């Protein structure tokens, strides 16, 4: 089963993750060998996982953050939080990734045990997951970070160099490829399979034609279009790949739209399984001990049952052959008294040779115990010459009785162990039902209007506002129709606002949309309590600039009459409403919010940091039974700080 990404995997994932360039680093979490970077991207929140020696991809499997952040976490947060990703790169064709954030670079070493290192603009080490020294480099604070010795890149290698590398290797061609060109065994096998070559052929014996075939096949494979998939054998995952390989022909495969999704599903499930094992580790150990005890007790029960049965049968056998055994005891006593034990033994042996029936019954003689063991009906009976026939039988009955007594005790202990086992199994079952420390974030498919800021007016009209230059441009060009209305605040940098089907809306909706426009503008972050806004018809809004001027991205001109609202209050309400069959957290004018919910939080511009405001709103919504993520609240709030002025429905 695959446990870490290859150089080929890293090449494909790095190509895919270029979409994260420009994303903002919100927060960083560290646990063991992993760091998780919480990003704010164009598509919303994304979590980037980097595990030393293992993997690098976007993840939806979120591990519960440690209660106390490590010193490594704090250093990473100090230097990277709030920064923007400038580049994500692979070092040469090695298992090393570089994430550049401003003046800093986070380096993830995914080979062997791996490491995660933060360096500054001069390539000096600020912090590392672990500090260590090697023959040719050292990972320690303030030291210059040096990459491991360079290895050959199969993507860039020229024909002549390729030929030289393979021919100088005195080994099988599959090993030569894997070693010399840093691709690993699987891809070396795949190249030779596609080329139809015998992988065991000596590399030094390859002809020029064969070498050329291998070279061209290698180049074609590593430029193959992605087809991310997980490979299964007997329903168990065994590999995750960015491309389809002939090596796994006939295996069950599951395909994904992105390699990151495939990696996340593969490693995420492994992580969840590890978390489950960790969660029940002690209980499973106790269960194993109880099962071993149970097995021993079952063996003991069988032993006691057998002892009780065998001794009972021997006692019964003595009484069933009363006359015979009584005569034997009498004869043996007389013989011993007359001859002594040694002569008695000698006479028995002679009797056996002569075929004497009584002598043949004797199996052993014990002078010390004054006992003779005979065989009767295939069973051996030990007879003590100093005891009567009744006393000899009683010895066996007493043994049977003791064995039965032990059996009863063992049975009680056995039942007790079974009860304990059931209790432990129940506890394991309960633990399995508990929420794991690793959980998969199920991302629902967002509605089209969630690309924008939005609310539903008290009259039931959908109102949309841009979030930035791109969404402002998109809103006006693609989503404003002739039957809509346009609103804008008299504030520089305010968002464009569109009332869908607005020409059928009443005065109340117009007021709410204009109030939304001023509240979502920079007037909020400036701490203003009121501002002006107007509405106009779509035909008045155009990209056509006055002569000599240029309209930038997200900018539009409004010509003709503007219908003004003056002194609009910057005041909004946060609540959870149901719209189109789903629950959404919204931030809208107070009248619009209270139309759809009895519980809401009224906010105005203020001194409370936006992050703290989000936390307080989340706590209130949580008390009302709404489990809302902080990033979802953050996304709907206006820009800048604020204060809670009223909580309705508490």
CB 106 within 8 A of CB 80: yes
**How many whole angstroms separate alpha carbon 215 and alpha carbon 152?**
14
Q: Side by side, which strands form the sheet with 362-366?
A: 362-366, 371-376, 379-384
pLDDT of residue 441: 56
What stretches of 181-280 show up as alpha helix (H) in DSSP? 184-195, 208-221, 259-279
> Encoding tokens for residue 95?
């298992």
Q: Say how far apart CA 442 and CA 59 lie, in whole Å.
A: 11
For residue 550, report the phi and psi dihedrals to the nearest 5 degrees: -120, 135
**What is the model's pLDDT at position 438?**
55
Kindly write down the DSSP assignment for every residue of 289-332, as one continuous string.
Answer: HHHHHHHHHHHHHHHHHHHHHHHHHHHHHHHHTHHHHHHHHHHH
Those residues of the chain that have pLDDT short of 50 are 436
Can you read off the two tokens belonging to residue 526? 């400036």
Q: What pLDDT score does 210 carry?
A: 93
User: Regarding beta strands 379-384 and 371-376, do their DSSP bridges make them parallel or antiparallel, or are they unpaired?
Assistant: antiparallel
Nearest to 198 by CA among 218, 180, 173: 173
Taking the C-alpha atoms of residue 104 and residue 451, their distance in angstroms, rounded to an integer, is 31
The string of pLDDT tens digits covering residues 535-544 is: 999 999 998 8
Helix, coil or strand: residue 585: strand
Q: What is the pLDDT of residue 552?
A: 72
Quote the CA–CA distance of 242 and 60 in Å, as a whole number.
Answer: 19
CA distance 197 to 218: 13
Q: Is the pTM of this model over 0.75?
A: no
Provide the β-strand partners of residue 439. Answer: 62
Of the candidates 574, 591, 578, the residue with the CA atom closest to the CA atom of residue 635 = 574
Which numeric CATH code is attached to 7-139?
2.30.310.10
Q: What percent of the chain has pLDDT over 70?
A: 97
Same fold, 7-139 and 156-221: no
Beta strands 34-41 and 44-51 are antiparallel
Tokens of 21: 């360039």
* Amino acid 630: pLDDT: 85
The rounded distance, in Å, linking the Cα atoms of 523 and 299 is 83
- Positive or negative, the CA dihedral 180, 183, 184, 189 is negative
The single residue listed with the structure tokens 């009780």 is 308
Domain boundaries, the chain: 7-139, 156-221, 312-388, 448-648
Contact between residue 228 and residue 259 where contact means Cβ atoms under 8 Å apart: yes
Reported as type and span, the H/E element at residue 368 is none
CA atoms within 13 A on the CB side of 26: 14
- Looking at residue 444, its pLDDT comes to 61
The secondary element (H helix, E strand) that includes residue 580 is none
HEC readout, 504-565: HCCHHHHHHHHHHHHHCCHHHHCCCCEEEEEEECHHHEECCCCCCCCCCCCCCEECCCCEEE
Residue with tokens 């900018």: 555
Q: What is the DSSP string of 112-180?
A: TT-EEEEE-TT-BEEEESS-EE-SS-EE-TTSBP-PPPP---TTT--HHHHHHHHHT--SBHHHHHHHH
A 10 A CB-CB count for 185 gives: 14
* 156-221 CATH: 1.10.8.50
């Amino acid at each position: 089963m695959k446990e870490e990404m290859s150089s080929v995997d890293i090449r494909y994932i790095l190509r895919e993750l270029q979409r994260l360039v420009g994303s903002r680093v919100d927060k960083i979490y560290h646990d063991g060998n992993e760091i998780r970077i919480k990003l704010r991207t164009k598509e919303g929140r994304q979590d980037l996982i980097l595990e030393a020696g293992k993997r690098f991809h976007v993840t939806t499997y979120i591990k519960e953050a440690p209660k106390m952040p490590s010193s490594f976490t704090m250093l990473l947060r100090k230097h990277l939080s709030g920064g923007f990703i400038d580049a994500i790169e692979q070092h040469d064709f090695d298992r090393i990734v570089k994430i550049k954030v401003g003046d800093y670079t986070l380096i993830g070493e995914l080979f062997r045990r791996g490491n995660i290192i933060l360096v500054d603009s001069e390539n000096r080490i600020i912090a590392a997951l672990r500090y260590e020294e090697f023959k040719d480099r050292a990972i320690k604070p303030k030291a210059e970070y040096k990459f491991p010795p360079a290895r050959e890149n199969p993507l860039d290698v020229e024909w002549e160099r390729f030929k030289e590398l393979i021919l100088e290797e005195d080994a099988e061609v599959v090993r030569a490829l894997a070693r010399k060109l840093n691709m690993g065994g699987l891809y070396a096998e795949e190249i030779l399979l596609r080329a139809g070559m015998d992988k065991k052929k000596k590399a030094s014996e390859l002809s020029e034609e064969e070498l050329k075939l291998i070279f061209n096949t290698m180049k074609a494979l590593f430029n193959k279009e992605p087809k991310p998939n997980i490979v299964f054998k007997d329903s168990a995952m065994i590999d995750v790949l960015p491309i389809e390989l002939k090596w796994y022909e006939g295996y069950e495969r599951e395909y994904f739209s992105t390699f990151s999704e495939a990696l996340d599903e593969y490693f995420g499930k492994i992580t969840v399984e590890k978390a489950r094992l960790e969660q029940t580790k002690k209980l499973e150990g106790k269960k194993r001990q109880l099962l071993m005890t149970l097995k021993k007790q079952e063996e003991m029960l069988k032993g006691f049952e057998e002892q009780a049965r065998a001794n009972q049968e021997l006692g019964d056998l003595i009484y069933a052959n009363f006359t015979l055994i009584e005569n034997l005891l009498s004869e043996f006593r007389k013989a011993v008294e007359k001859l002594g034990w040694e002569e008695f033994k000698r006479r028995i042996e002679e009797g056996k040779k002569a075929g004497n029936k009584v002598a043949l019954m004797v199996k052993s003689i014990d002078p010390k115990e004054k006992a003779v063991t005979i065989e009767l009906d295939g069973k051996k009976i030990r007879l003590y010459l100093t005891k009567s026939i009744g006393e000899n039988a009683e010895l066996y009955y007493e043994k049977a009785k003791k064995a039965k007594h032990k059996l009863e005790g063992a049975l009680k202990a056995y039942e007790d162990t079974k009860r304990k086992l059931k209790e432990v199994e129940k506890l394991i079952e309960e633990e399995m039902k508990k929420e794991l420390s690793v959980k998969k974030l199920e991302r629902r498919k967002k509605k089209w209007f969630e690309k924008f800021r939005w609310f539903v007016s008290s009259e039931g009209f959908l109102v949309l506002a841009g979030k930035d230059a791109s969404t402002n441009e998109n809103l006006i060009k693609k989503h404003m129709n002739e039957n809509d209305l346009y609103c804008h605040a008299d504030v520089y940098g305010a968002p464009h606002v569109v009332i869908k089907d607005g020409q059928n809306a009443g005065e109340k909706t117009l007021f709410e949309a204009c109030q939304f426009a001023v509240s979502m503008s920079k007037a909020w972050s400036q701490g203003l309590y009121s501002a002006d806004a107007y509405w106009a018809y779509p035909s008045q809004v155009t990209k056509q600039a006055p002569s000599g001027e240029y309209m930038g991205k997200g900018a539009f001109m409004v010509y003709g009459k503007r219908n003004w609202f003056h002194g609009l209050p910057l005041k909004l309400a946060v609540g959870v409403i149901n719209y189109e069959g789903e629950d959404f957290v919204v931030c809208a004018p107070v009248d619009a919010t209270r139309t759809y919910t009895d519980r809401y939080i009224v906010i105005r511009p203020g001194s409370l940091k936006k992050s703290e405001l989000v936390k307080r709103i989340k706590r209130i919504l949580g008390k009302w039974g709404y489990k809302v993520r902080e990033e979802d609240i953050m996304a709907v709030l206006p820009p800048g700080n604020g204060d809670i002025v009223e909580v309705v429905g508490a």
